[in-house]
Amino acid sequence: MFNRQFIYLCPSNLETMDAVKFVEEELLSLDENLPSFNPGDTVVVKYKIKEGNKERTQAYKGVVIQVKGSGMNKTFTVRKISDGIGVERVFPLTSPNLESIAITKRGKVRRAKLYYLRSAVGKKTRIKEKR
């Protein structure tokens, strides 16, 4: 009995999915100014940070080790070495705090997820550049 009432009260799944896709497409069309990048690329991400009532922009330069998700849920992880310690940060691609992404170097890699960089030391962390 519960299932029949639920189906009766809710709109069909097709109508709901179409509405979700419509909203996602509208919001994604606003982010067309962001460049296309892949794992292995070196990028500079400018991100707004709010501290109290102040707001500043922080530049985060590193190598993209993964791009994950699709649509509104798309995220990318950037890894950099700071004072000899590896630091990774995950950025949502559709975040309003994301100011810009600048690609400084295109990397030539054969993997979609570059987790091996976490354990690599020295010259093994180098990524060849596309020509």
Q: Is 111 inside any structural domain?
A: yes
Whole-number pLDDT of residue 102 = 95
Give per-residue pLDDT as tens, 71-121.
788 999 999 999 989 999 999 988 889 999 999 999 999 999 999 999 998
Whole-number pLDDT of residue 32 = 63
Q: Is 131 inside any structural domain?
A: no
User: Full-prediction pTM beyond 0.95?
Assistant: no
Long-range contacts, stretch 55-59, CB < 8 angstroms, 24+ apart: 57/99
Whole-number pLDDT of residue 46 = 95
Q: Is 1 inside any structural domain?
A: no
Give per-residue pLDDT as tens, 17-40.
777 777 777 766 655 678 899 999
In angstroms, the CA 107 to CA 52 distance is 38
Bridge partners, residue 100, by sequence: 46
Q: Is 26 inside any structural domain?
A: no
| HEC readout, the chain | CHHHHHHHHCCCHHHHHHHHHHHHHHHHHCCCCCCCCCCCCEEEEEEEEEECCEEEEEEEEEEEEEEECCHHHCEEEEEEEECCEEEEEEEECCCCCEEEEEEEECECCCCCCCHHHHCCCHHHHCCCECC
Whole-number pLDDT of residue 21 = 76
Any idea what the Cα angle at residue 94 is, between residues 83 and 17, rounded to 5°? 140
Q: Find the mean pLDDT for residues 61-69.
A: 95
Whole-number pLDDT of residue 109 = 94
Q: Is 42 inside any structural domain?
A: yes
Q: Is 129 inside any structural domain?
A: no
Place of tokens 């690609």: 103
Domain count, the chain: 1
Domain span at 93: 34-123
Does 43 have pLDDT greater than 90?
Answer: yes
Domain containing residue 115: CATH number: 2.30.30.790
